[in-house]
Chain A
Amino acid sequence: RKEVEQDPGPFNVPEGATVAFNCTYSNSASQSFFWYRQDCRKEPKLLMSVYSSGNEDGRFTAQLNRASQYISLLIRDSKLSDSATYLCVVNRASKIIFGSGTRLSIRP
């Protein structure tokens, strides 16, 4: 079993919809968490960090559930430009582990 797992998708949703996806991690010693976005044939870019209390950045909300060992990303009022692959990142001591990514496709 992978230490960090994501549903690969693709999630195909209409513009304006709300979409959410999770990322589970297996090591309870994991310390910090992030969501990165990667467009097709481009490099990953930080979308947002994930804080214990949950955090919001515009239409994006990230949550951390330590008890169940997952992080989530919620996108409200989705735009065509949100189409991308979303990678979760879990750090544990000096270990940096990227999930395989969830593909999101927003249709007009």
Chain B
Amino acid sequence: DAGVIQSPRHEVTEMGQEVTLRCKPISGHDYLFWYRQTMMRGLELLIYFNNNVPIDDSGMPEDRFSAKMPNASFSTLKIQPSEPRDSAVYFCASSLAGGPDNEQFFGPGTRLTVL
């Protein structure tokens, strides 16, 4: 069975450019989560969706970040404009009904470098 799929796996861009990260959750999972991980701040929840609806976006750092889930099998996290401090590994995860109280399955992550 395919797990959570993320693309691209690595992204290098220059400050000011738009970055779009993509995620395909495990089929049948109702919840989708976006995380950011850095050495300084650890793993931080940015936003999560239940049945394609954003439930909690309090972790989104600022207006430069936006996330969408147009259907049950696809989500995007967009950063516009990107800044060097956005450099991090971005993980997408999904879970069955029960969301935070159920096991989350993580994708392999997108390693973003903003120069």
Residues of B within 8 A of A94 (CB): 48, 55-56, 100
Which residues in A have their C-beta under 8 angstroms from that of B33? 96
The reply on A44 being an interface residue by CB < 8 A is yes
Which residues from chain A contact B62 at a C-beta distance below 8 Å? none
B107 at the interface (CB under 8 A from A): yes
A91 in contact with B100 (CB, 8 Å) = yes
Partner-contacting stretch, out of B11-19, B38-46, B76-84: B38-46
CA distance A49 to B103 in the complex (A): 8
Known: A94-B56, A99-B42, A100-B42. A46 touches B103 (CB 8 A): yes
Query: Residues of B within 8 Å of A, CB-based: how many?
Result: 18
A45 near B106: Cβ-Cβ < 8 Å: yes
Q: Note all chain B residues with C-beta closer than 8 A to A100.
A: 42-43
**In the assembled complex, A57 has its CB within 8 A of some CB on chain B:** no
**Cα–Cα, bound, A48→B94 (Å):** 17
Collect the chain A residues with CB atoms within 8 Å of residue B44's CB. Answer: 98
CA distance A20 to B65 in the complex (A): 38
Interface residue? A69 (CB, 8 A): no
Q: What residues of B have a CB within 8 angstroms of the CB of A87 in the complex?
A: 43
The 10 closest A-B pairs by CB, nearest first: A43-B106, A100-B42, A98-B43, A46-B103, A91-B100, A94-B56, A32-B101, A96-B100, A96-B45, A44-B106
Other than the given A95-B45, A98-B44, 14 more pairs (CB < 8 A) read: A32-B100, A43-B91, A44-B104, A44-B106, A45-B106, A87-B43, A91-B101, A94-B48, A94-B56, A95-B100, A96-B45, A96-B100, A98-B45, A100-B42
